[in-house]
Amino acid sequence: MIRTPHSITIPGKPAGKARPRVGQGGHFYSPKAGAFEAKVVQLAQQAWGTTPDDALYQIKLLIVKRISNSVSQKKRQAMFGCYAGQRPDPVNILAACLDSLQGILYHDDKQVPCHVVRQIWGTADFTVISVKDISAETWSQRQ
């Protein structure tokens, strides 16, 4: 199924997927989904509906982190567009997005064999999730 639009933009600071915690009595539990995951679900449902399919997808994440106002103008210009090694970890943000899209785009995140994640500096905090159906692509077409 071809999904349009092919990307959505989530405004605000992204949050990574929380790790399982140990509760009383040594039982493990997963923390509840946060505001970022809820926003991804809301915007994804508006863009793509709520009917998952069996297609294979490539997910691209562009995570833009706002440069602090305390940074000098000269350093700000040098940082703009460069990779940002900043918390939260981009892999945890990817995990939060994949979990949020499950049941909207796909049944299980094993249907997303290809991920591309970039985290860069910019003027505002936002995340762009781009989706591409790669079901029809063969290995020879991807080389």
pLDDT at position 50 is 86
Q: Which amino acid is at 33?
A: A
Model-level pTM greater than 0.85? no
DSSP strand pairing (114-122 vs 57-66): parallel
pLDDT at position 86 is 78
Can you give the pLDDT of all 143 residues of the chain as single tens digits? Answer: 556 678 999 999 998 877 777 777 777 766 666 889 999 999 999 999 888 989 999 999 999 999 999 999 999 999 999 999 878 889 999 999 999 999 999 999 899 999 999 999 999 999 999 999 998 876 555 55
Q: Which residue has the tokens 């999904």?
A: 3
